[in-house]
Amino acid sequence: MRIDLLKKSQKRTRGFSLIEVMIAVVILVVGLTALMALFARSLIAVQSSQDGQIARQKSRETMESINAARNDESLSFDQIQNEANGGIFSDGFKTMYLPGANGIPGTNSDTTIIDRVILPGKDGVVQTAPGAATPSGDDVFYPLTNFKRQILISPVVTGGAVNLYMRKVTVTIRVNAGGANGADYETTGYISSTQER
């Protein structure tokens, strides 16, 4: 009787076999690998979304600065052209630098400091000194090294004739230039030789 009880207790305490453990490990590894891939894709999507928002905002800012310069007459209508046509705006896609003395990005007077986004630090307040080229306080500077800008200024054709008093301005911001997840963000507007009063 005692031998029968001993045999029954041995059967109940039997562990997993090596094959069962290996199958469980393989299932666990496949699941964790899929989870890591999903996590990596979500990080890429978040970064892409942030870059897209920055690109759209920088595109609109550039368009607004061109209109403001025309409105306050710091730029003549003849200057609002690409360099190839005798204007001050750079041709083709260029690295985004901070605007120079004229305050208009994308011109031949840009600085050599890469444009950036300034985010508030731990205190939640942006506290940069005016005109500072270096970070101050706890602000976070996000340089736009993977961004390129193109300002294309072209004539407007109406009824088969070139309108001499209006130009089409297309600002394109290219994110991740040369990367696998590259995208272009574009703002288009028109500018006339005279402002409405």
In-domain check, residue 140: no
Of the candidates 93, 73, 77, the one whose C-alpha atom is nearest the C-alpha of residue 85 is 77
User: What confidence category does residue 73 fall into, taking pLDDT thresholds of 50, 70 and 90?
Assistant: confident
In-domain check, residue 20: no
In-domain check, residue 130: no
pLDDT at residue number 112 = 92
For the entire predicted model, the pTM comes to: 0.71
Q: Is the pLDDT of residue 177 over 70?
A: no
Q: What residue numbers bound the domain in which 106 lies?
A: 37-110+145-192
Q: How many domains does the chain have?
A: 1
Q: Is the pLDDT of residue 197 over 50?
A: no
In-domain check, residue 172: yes
In-domain check, residue 84: yes
Q: Is the pLDDT of residue 34 over 50?
A: yes
Neighbour-count burial of 134, counting CB atoms closer than 10 A to its CB (0-12 exposed, 13-18 middle, 19+ buried) = exposed
In-domain check, residue 43: yes
What long-range pairs does 70-74 form, CB within 8 A, spacing at least 24? 70/191, 70/195, 71/195, 74/102, 74/103
In-domain check, residue 29: no
Write the pLDDT tens digit of every residue in 79-125.
999 999 999 999 999 999 999 888 899 998 899 999 998 888 777 77
Percentage of residues of the chain with pLDDT beyond 70:
83
